[in-house]
């Protein structure tokens, strides 16, 4: 995986997350509250997983006790956490070397404490695909709840020079 590709993918992730948060902030008041709670928990889950793997990559550990929050996330705080984590990943992929990408990282999975082992490149791939899969599911949930969605395509970001 090349560094320029990683930089594009993580810039896209940050851009798509920010657009999604904007769309959720603008959700109509009459949107189904239960469906909105599921959407917020799903988006929060992606942020939690991102922070867990950030800790593994940084060698600092993390403070997450579970991969799903026990309280309903508030959109402003969630947006701030996502933006901060996305900024960290963008800075990380801008400086990581090819040699570092092939290094293995050993960690304990949250919840069952089983041992995991992935290369840094594999972790970054997981963070990108995990977030994209959940944003896709969130987009469908938003559609069903009557909430206008957000742009989420790499082609939109890249072709418009954002």
Q: What is the pTM of this model?
A: 0.91
CB burial of 104-118 (b: ≥16 within 10 Å; e: otherwise) equals eeebeebeeeeeeeb
Digit-coded pLDDT (tens) for 79-110? 999 999 999 999 999 999 999 999 999 998 88
162: pLDDT strictly greater than 60: no
pLDDT score recorded for residue 154: 60
pLDDT score recorded for residue 62: 82
pLDDT score recorded for residue 150: 77
Q: In degrees rounded to 5, what are phi and psi of residue 69?
A: -70, 150
| Average pLDDT over every residue of 103-127 | 92
Digit-coded pLDDT (tens) for 21-58? 999 999 998 999 999 999 999 999 999 999 999 999 99
Domain ranges, residue 103:
3-159
Are the beta carbons of 145 and 64 closer than 8 angstroms?
no
The CATH number of whichever domain residue 19 belongs to comes to 1.20.120.450
| Average pLDDT over every residue of 123-142 | 96
């Amino acid at each position: 995986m090349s560094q320029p590709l990683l930089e594009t993918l993580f810039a896209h992730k940050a851009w798509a997350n920010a657009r999604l948060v904007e769309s959720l902030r603008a959700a109509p008041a009459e949107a189904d509250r239960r469906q909105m709670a599921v959407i917020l928990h799903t988006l929060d889950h992606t942020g939690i997983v991102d922070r867990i793997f950030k800790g593994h990559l940084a060698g600092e550990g993390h403070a997450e006790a579970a991969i799903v929050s026990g309280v309903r996330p508030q959109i402003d705080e969630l947006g701030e956490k996502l933006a901060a984590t996305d900024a960290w990943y963008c800075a990380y992929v801008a400086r990581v070397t090819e040699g570092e990408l092939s290094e293995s990282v050993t960690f304990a999975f949250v919840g069952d404490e089983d041992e995991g082992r992935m290369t840094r490149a594999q972790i970054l791939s997981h963070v990108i695909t995990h977030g994209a899969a959940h944003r896709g599911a969130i987009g469908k949930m938003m559609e069903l709840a009557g909430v206008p969605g957000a742009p989420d395509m790499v082609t939109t970001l890249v072709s418009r020079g954002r």
